[in-house]
Homo-oligomer: A and B are copies of this chain.
Amino acid sequence: MTRVQDVYPDNRLVLREVGLRDGLQLVKAFPSTTAKQRWIRDEYAAGVRHFEVGSFLPAKTFPQFADVRDIIRTVAALPGAHGVALALNERGVDEALASGVAEVASVVSATEEHSQANANRSRDSAIANIKRLCELRDASAHRPLVNAAISMALGCSIVGPVDPDEVIRLAEKCYEAGVDMVAIADTVGYAGPKQVGELTREVVRIAGSKPVCVHLHDTRGMGIANASAALDAGARVLDGSLGGLGGCPFAPGATGNVVFEDLVFLCESKGFATGIDLQKLVAVRAILRSEMPNESLYGGLARAGLPCATAARAA
């Protein structure tokens, strides 16, 4: 049984590497299973403990996640490491629960329009799926954590601005359904820090003692500023991907998740101990470069290096 306070302690910030799932969602070429395993092990050696490992989607359409069970086992074998897998529909939920993964993530769109267009179902149906997931979790032997991401929570690729009250209402429904964590996702990198801070503060308030995750994309260069605002507003879990790997299906040419290594630098600069060695983390980019030579990697830290005193301290 996985206990939320062990995985996401309330006195500690958690940074999650989501590159192996969100970062690979749209790529044509993807790393081999052994390369993914090196990616995880090398980041683990740098101090990373939380990994989104893949998705339970049809392997025919998403061959990049065909090895999700192997990757789940790779993470599970590392002491203190925690794996998360995405499951979008009933079949995915059943497979995720059967896989023994420590955390299952599901998704509900913030807007009815996006829910119908992207997942061909209503938001109520997505919430029902999350409720079923929580019930199956409660009946399971290993009881994984359940995390519900509210996609498009800060702006929608279809309707534009999103009413924060709608997002709060959905977050309340997710908590009522029994989720251990809600993630607010700026899926298309729509927001600025003011909006991120305001929504995060509200969700943190209704979450009570449960952790709140903020999942940001750097689409318009606001990723790190938004992460800073989320931290100020009480978010305890932030997502990022090494080199900012990933794109956005709704914004061609747009970059993906917040750059993980820059996110670590931000958090350390704000006084949060991440336990992550930045130089070791940046070195892991070599795996992505060699496995996916055509993917753009981003990030200020990789470009410029650590400031001299920090580098001296680390050396």
B-contacting residues of A (Cβ < 8 Å)? 155, 157, 160-161, 188-195, 218-225, 227-229, 248, 251, 253-255, 259, 262, 265-266, 268-271, 299-301, 303-309, 312
Instruction: Apart from A192-B265, A221-B301, list 14 A-B contacts with CB within 8 A.
Output: A188-B307, A190-B307, A192-B228, A194-B269, A220-B265, A222-B265, A222-B266, A222-B300, A224-B224, A248-B304, A251-B305, A253-B303, A255-B300, A255-B303
Question: In the complex, what residues of B have CB within 8 A of residue A253's CB?
Answer: 303-304
Of B223, B270, B300, B304, the residue contacting A193 (CB under 8 A) is B270
- Least Cβ–Cβ distance between A229 and chain B, in angstroms: 7
Q: Decide: B225 and A192 in contact? CB cutoff 8 A.
A: no
Question: In the complex, what residues of B have CB within 8 A of residue A270's CB?
Answer: 192-194
Question: In the complex, what residues of B have CB within 8 A of residue A225's CB?
Answer: 193, 224-225, 227-228, 266
Nearest first, the 9 A-B pairs at minimum CB distance are A192-B269, A221-B300, A160-B309, A221-B262, A254-B304, A225-B225, A220-B300, A224-B225, A225-B228
Q: How far is the CA of A267 from the CA of B301 in the complex (A)?
A: 24
**Interface CB pairs A-B, < 8 A, 26:** A155-B307, A155-B309, A188-B307, A189-B300, A189-B304, A190-B307, A192-B265, A192-B268, A194-B270, A194-B271, A220-B265, A220-B300, A220-B301, A220-B306, A221-B301, A222-B262, A222-B266, A222-B269, A224-B224, A225-B225, A225-B227, A228-B228, A228-B229, A253-B303, A253-B304, A254-B304
